Structure 1
Amino acid sequence: MRLMRLGAAGDERPVVLADDDTVVEVGDLTRDFDETFFESGGVTLLAGEVAGRIARGETRPIGDERIGAPIARPHQIVCVGLNYRDHALETGQEIPAEPILFNKAPNTLVGPNDDVRVPRGATKLDWEVELGIVIGRRSEYLDNDKDAREAIAGYVLVNDVSERAFQMERGGQWVKGKSAPTFNPAGPWLATPDEFSDVLALDIWLEVNGVRRQDGSTSTMIFSPEFIVRYVSQFMMLEPGDLINTGTPPGVGLGFTPPIWLAEGDVMTLGITGLGVARQRVKLEMIVDVHAHLWHQERDITDPFLGEAARSRSGELDLTTRWELYRAAAPADTVAIVFGGKARASGLWVPDEEVAAFAADRPDEVIGFLSLDPSQPGWRDELIACHRDCGLRGIKLMPMYAGFDPRDRDLDDLWRYAADNGLPVLSHTGTTFVSTAVLDYAHPGLFDEIARRHPDLTLILAHMGHPFEGECLAVIRKHPRVFADISALHYRPFQFWHALRLAQDYGVLDKLLLGSDFPFTTVNGTVEGLRRLYDVGIPGLDRLDGEAIERLIHRPSLSLLGLTT
């Protein structure tokens, strides 16, 4: 029997493979392929019912549905090092007399075709195709290979992704180089032992960008699966659903002269006889910039606006928005939400058609938002046309620049349209350099009333409402669909530290989104400014939570906002 899990990450459901293209749904028989399932003898219990459903034709095609790891997150992932004779020789190390054991973080487990993310600071990313063992029952101090064989629920295809600099150059144990998120793709299925006549006679291979790098056989294993299970059980209790990665054949990147390391965009394709084929692309951790501008300075911005803009950074500014300048100061995998701006009263008017064309030319890098000035006639027709005809996917508002109160009941049409069509609304809040702007309409607290009237509306309060950060935090703390971005704050470091410290104390750091405010600043400048605050402290107070700040930098803002690239 071959067990699979299908569905979005974190929401997979159990199925059984009927043939190469169809599955039997078994969600009514078991919640998941997890510890409870294996401990209760679920494989045996499923067999009869699954056979009956296949006989009755109760199958359905897999189609293009995502394939998850074939088991739920295990209690532990145990790994065996140097378990192939030729791999040990390749690395210049002695063939071990006993299995070399180390652990891998359980949250490394992902689906067989999911992306492998490059962790921050990685320089030597490597591949390792491996045979994985899934434990079927609680096992401790097993006496013989027969008992060990009976403890095996099945086998899976695994890629034991490794960062060699972390593993070998940072001291301590190998776990450092093995445990980044996405470092253990597994699947597409778990095959029960009865699917194999000899598990020590399986071809095992891996290609990088179509070039065969590993080409071996489980026949060259030093320690058999049964021996490994029995051996491991002498040192720790194995729980049902635990995963053991049994080592890799020769051909890893480390073994080449000079070494070959994975790079962004590389594709690994791997397989084992009877366990299917998997494919993973290497990707840098995505950064989403929710606040970037696009305009032609001479055409779209009046001279008075430009003259007063110098006050934003205490000096003359170049507000040119060339994409090559943006990309040069942002990580390669950055996705930007880009908009123009419309505020007739302040001297800014960017045609949305320009933004739409710019985004259409860069669909993997840019998501375009339309801009509205509701003080001008025809804004309702403009909203519908720019959304439906131009394909723009959110709305940018500038209440204090355009001189309108966002609480005005006449704007309920706007809020309803945005909520009904899944359009996030990003609104400027906080101070300004423009003398004609109306500060009464700059307060983030104005959006509390809007969020109460329209609870399904997704809002982003720009700039954390600076200098009204506390008011902004009070609003985003109340409303699940209201966020704030941190754009245009890092060059005021004390204010920025204070705002983040308030967010930490109120427990809303997870409601903050990364934004640059390009061209006033850049993504790299914003990230560097955030990280400089790690070491800022006041005696008697805790420092900022560095891990939470890193999560902010890599926040999955697109999914939070209901957007995809």
Structure 2
Amino acid sequence: MSEVDQIARFRREHGLDELVDVHTHFMPTSVMDKVWAYFDSAGPLVGRHWPISYRTSEEERVERLRAFGVRCFTSMVYPHKPDMAAWLNSWAADFAARTPGCLHTSTFYPEPEAGAYVTSALDAGTKVFKSHLQVGDYTPFDPLLTEVWGLLEDAEVPIVVHCGSGPAPGTHTGPGPMAELLRRHPKLTVIVAHMGLPEYVDFLDLAERYERVHLDTTMAFTDFVEEDTPFPREALPRLDVLRSKILLGSDFPNIPYTYLHQLEALARVAPDSDWLRAVCHDNAAALFGIEQRGRSPGQGDRGRPSRS
């Protein structure tokens, strides 16, 4: 059975007509090629063998997600140096305009122009931003970002932030910087990438403390991650408590296993099918204002009532 068929079966079993994936990567070809080369070399921010499972053309990757039943997805772009973010934002705006289902994604970097191009991106209808504190190697408290955080807090536009110290720690990763950023900007709409691995518990604490803090499941609970940084078993009950704040993320196409495996890994820790429906679709649909489409017959009757 093909992976497409297996994912279709997974969705039928759990009453999921469609998926919403908040952490997928589409980038200019020249940038994606460099990202893949970095993974191929097992660079210091990777630290281990990391084959790319979906190394195909942009068009093929889009069609693969659609075949998997992913209705909406992102084009996570992120700069690693100055004078790059505005160009990435321009590319991502064009990609979203020509790619139905893509949530218009933007990014930023600490530089004098950041406030201006973030304002332009918001005016252009950006739905989500990406901040990569590990790759960008910048502190969120850089004075050049003060205006940016204020703009994003006021706009209530979600920001996917790679702030955990996995797969390798960065100068400014870990729960401390994000806790201080949220103290200064408590209304920021943050999606903590990778469930904050490996500091899972600390980021669960932040999600409980702040109304607008969420977590995405990118790579969490998979065999690849569990081998080195297992999710603490004693924290599993908190996934149920926070079921309305957890969103499906995958890191597609830059994952060393199949998309199906990420879904099956979530099923292993899911309290019930309602949790899977909330995580894999409903929570992101609510956060991004995605119109709900019809449910499968009988959906909502299984397990306990959804609290999403």
Q: Say which structure is richer in helix.
A: 2
CA apart distance, 1:302: 4.2
CA apart distance, 1:421: 2.0
Structure 2 counterparts to residues 336-485 of structure 1, below 5 A = 336-344=73-81, 351-363=88-100, 365-374=101-110, 376-389=111-124, 391-431=125-165, 439-485=170-216
Q: 1:288 to 1:500 in 2, by over 3 A?
A: farther
CA apart distance, 1:479: 0.7
- Alpha-carbon distance between aligned partners in 2 of 1:470 and 1:349, rounded to the nearest angstrom: 34
TM (norm. structure 1) is 0.43
Partners of 1:429 and 1:465 within 8 A in 2: yes
Partners of 1:326 and 1:518 within 8 A in 2: no
Partners of 1:291 and 1:518 within 8 A in 2: yes
- Alpha-carbon distance between aligned partners in 2 of 1:552 and 1:369, rounded to the nearest angstrom: 22
Q: Which runs of 5+ in 1 are unaligned?
A: 1-117, 123-179, 182-283, 535-543
Paired residue secondary structure (2:23): strand
CA apart distance, 1:335: 1.1
- Alpha-carbon distance between aligned partners in 2 of 1:320 and 1:296, rounded to the nearest angstrom: 14
Paired residue secondary structure (2:22): strand
- Alpha-carbon distance between aligned partners in 1 of 2:116 and 2:98, rounded to the nearest angstrom: 25
Structure 2 counterparts to residues 212-291 of structure 1, below 5 A = 285-291=17-23
Paired residue secondary structure (2:218): coil
CA apart distance, 1:501: 5.5
Structure 2 counterparts to residues 542-557 of structure 1, below 5 A = 545-547=271-273, 549-557=275-283
Paired residue secondary structure (2:262): helix
Pick the aligned partner of 1:332 from 69, 75, 80: 69
User: Greater CA radius of gyration, 1 or 2?
Assistant: 1
CA apart distance, 1:460: 0.6
CA apart distance, 1:471: 1.4
Q: Does 2:237 correspond to 1:504?
A: yes
Paired residue secondary structure (1:344): coil
Q: Which runs of 5+ in 2 are unaligned?
A: 1-8, 292-308
Q: Say which structure is richer in strand.
A: 1
Partners of 1:369 and 1:395 within 8 A in 2: yes
Partners of 1:431 and 1:439 within 8 A in 2: yes
In the alignment, residue 192 of structure 2 is paired with which amino acid?
Answer: L
- Alpha-carbon distance between aligned partners in 2 of 1:406 and 1:321, rounded to the nearest angstrom: 34
Q: 1:327 to 1:429 in 2, by over 3 A?
A: farther
Paired residue secondary structure (1:401): helix
- Alpha-carbon distance between aligned partners in 2 of 1:457 and 1:505, rounded to the nearest angstrom: 22
TM (norm. structure 2) is 0.74
- Alpha-carbon distance between aligned partners in 1 of 2:61 and 2:104, rounded to the nearest angstrom: 18
Aligned-CA RMSD value: 3.5
Q: How many residues align?
A: 272
- Alpha-carbon distance between aligned partners in 1 of 2:182 and 2:81, rounded to the nearest angstrom: 26
CA apart distance, 1:453: 2.2
Structure 2 counterparts to residues 158-237 of structure 1, below 5 A = none
Q: Summarize deviations over 1:205-241 as a string: whole Å, max 9, x none.
A: xxxxxxxxxxxxxxxxxxxxxxxxxxxxxxxxxxxxx
- Alpha-carbon distance between aligned partners in 2 of 1:552 and 1:444, rounded to the nearest angstrom: 25
Partners of 1:458 and 1:481 within 8 A in 2: yes
Partners of 2:166 and 2:198 within 8 A in 1: no
Paired residue secondary structure (1:483): strand
Q: Summarize deviations over 1:293-326 as a string: whole Å, max 9, x none.
A: 1124534564873533594662443655624235
Partners of 1:459 and 1:481 within 8 A in 2: yes
Q: Does 2:35 correspond to 1:305?
A: no
Structure 2 counterparts to residues 92-111 of structure 1, below 5 A = none
The residue number in structure 1 matching 2:12 is: 121
Partners of 1:428 and 1:462 within 8 A in 2: yes
Q: 1:496 to 1:510 in 2, by over 3 A?
A: farther
- Alpha-carbon distance between aligned partners in 2 of 1:520 and 1:357, rounded to the nearest angstrom: 22
Q: 1:525 to 1:359 in 2, by over 3 A?
A: farther
Q: 1:495 to 1:563 in 2, by over 3 A?
A: farther
- Alpha-carbon distance between aligned partners in 2 of 1:460 and 1:419, rounded to the nearest angstrom: 13
State percent identity of aligned pairs: 22
In the alignment, residue 290 of structure 1 is paired with which amino acid?
Answer: V
- Alpha-carbon distance between aligned partners in 2 of 1:120 and 1:398, rounded to the nearest angstrom: 31
CA apart distance, 1:447: 1.7
CA apart distance, 1:476: 0.9
CA apart distance, 1:554: 3.1
Partners of 2:21 and 2:248 within 8 A in 1: yes
